[in-house]
Amino acid sequence: MARDLAQVVVAPAERWVEEAASRIAGGLEASVLARGQASIALSGGETPRPVYQRLAAMTLPWSRIDVFFGDERAVPPEHPDSNYHMAVETLLDPAGVPMARRHRMPADAADRDAAARAYAAELPERFDLLVLGIGHDCHTASLFPGSTALNETTRRVVPSESPVPPIERLTITPPVIAASRARFVLARGRDKAGPVARALEGSDDATHCPAQLARAGVWLLDPDAAAGLTGTPE
């Protein structure tokens, strides 16, 4: 069953943040140890906020870690809806990530398609770690159900549109998710139980449940987000 591709980790609610941050930190440290550097692509949304704050308090070789984004909204970097703004507040500034290691996805550029191409050229061949979330409609990054971006097999970053504001976005594409060395999907709360179950145990249908693209990953869930699963977690 497709669920077998996933490493499902269910952490008690009071341990979920620590578990998620520790595993991401461990992945970054292992990459730097193995290759002298690491790359991570961050998710936006609300779920990762406390995880990024906890990560900022950990001792990591940030001068050797490049921070990218899996998606971004077409808003300026200081806008409250900006994923970059959220990362600066919770992680990049508190952890002292050097400016040269911060790779904002410029979705607010006048020519979003050109910005997508330029950002794709900046990406490493493979992310060491890709942090993703999952939406109520089973989207991940800014790959929304039915999006033409889901059919992209060559471009690594493309414009996309969200069904809810902020509508205009940039997002990584399926090949980037597949090529990442490690995928971490963060989900907690009862409202994510349905999409998590669809993503991990539903019939293969990435067009209508794009989060299935991250099945071969570590799914860091609290008991509420795991409530819809029938299989036994780790």
Query: How distant is the alpha carbon of residue 2 from its chain centre?
Result: 20
Is residue 166 within the footprint of ligand 6PG (CB under 6 A)? no
> Which segment (8-16, 137-145, 150-158, 219-227) binds ligand 6PG by CB under 6 A?
137-145
Is residue 141 within the footprint of ligand 6PG (CB under 6 A)? yes
> Which segment (9-17, 85-93, 136-144, 214-222) binds ligand 6PG by CB under 6 A?
136-144
Q: How far apart are CA 231 and CA 3, in angstroms?
A: 8
The two beta strands, 38-42 and 65-69, are parallel
Among 27, 106, 133, 210, the residue binding ligand 6PG under the rule CB under 6 A is 133
Residue 150 near residue 160, CB atoms below 8 Å: no
Q: Could you give the residue ranges of the DSSP H alpha helices within 36-130?
A: 49-56, 83-87, 93-95, 112-122
Is residue 83 within the footprint of ligand 6PG (CB under 6 A)? yes
Is residue 27 within the footprint of ligand 6PG (CB under 6 A)? no
Q: What is the DSSP letter of 102?
A: B
Q: How far is the CB of 132 from ligand 6PG (least distance, A)?
A: 6
Among 54, 55, 68, 71, the residue binding ligand 6PG under the rule CB under 6 A is 71
Query: Of 85, 76, 75, 170, whose CA–CA distance to 122 is shortest?
Result: 170
Residues at the interface with ligand 6PG (CB under 6 A)? 43-47, 70-71, 83, 133, 135, 139-142
